[in-house]
Amino acid sequence: MDLTYILVSLAGIAVLIGLSALLFGIPKASVQSEQNIETALAQDVPGFRAGDHVLAPDKSAALVENVSDGQIYLAVGCGDGIVTRKLTHGFVRGVARDGRDLRLTLDDFSLPLAHLVLGDEASARSWEMRLSGL
């Protein structure tokens, strides 16, 4: 009897989640805008000033250089916020590019892979070279 009650409750919850997704869709996390990225990085990194940057056309992620010290940061949309990571030697385990696709393998259990589809192949190549030098 208790198992039946639990299974019926779980089925009801699954139906409600499915109905919600059907009616309202499943939003994809995004960084929204360059201003949001700069604000998030300024909160995470004292003295941060945005320099060279690239925002993925789907606004899922961005790479941003800090003018203050030349460090490169990754910003990824996560839920309704932005997760940032400082990309340093040892933290970036691998960089692979396929056309406009840039894949980063990171030494981070919460964000082991980052995939950015950049606007053009030249931009992807340029960032690949910069990140490979870390």
The DSSP-derived string for 74-121 is: EEEEETTEEEEEEE-BTTEEEEEEETTEEEEEES-TTS-EEEEE-S-H
Residue 73: CATH number of its domain: 2.30.29
Confidence (pLDDT) at 21: 81
Confidence (pLDDT) at 27: 67
- Residue 104 near residue 113, CB atoms below 8 Å: yes
Spatial distance between the Cα atoms of 57 and 34, rounded to a whole number of angstroms: 12
Is 115 domain-assigned?
A: yes
DSSP 45: S
Tokens of 100: 């406009």
Is 46 domain-assigned?
A: yes
Sites in the chain below the pLDDT cut of 50: none
Spatial distance between the Cα atoms of 30 and 66, rounded to a whole number of angstroms: 21
Has this prediction a pTM greater than 0.85? no
Is 3 domain-assigned?
A: no
**116 Cβ partners below 8 Å, 6+ apart?**
54, 56, 60, 61, 62, 63, 101, 102, 103, 104, 124
Confidence (pLDDT) at 18: 87
Cα separations (Å) of 21 from 12, 70, 71, 127, 130? 14, 42, 39, 36, 40
Is 88 domain-assigned?
A: yes
Is 62 domain-assigned?
A: yes
Domain ranges, residue 85: 34-132
- The Cα angle at residue 45 between residues 42 and 46, in degrees rounded to 5: 85
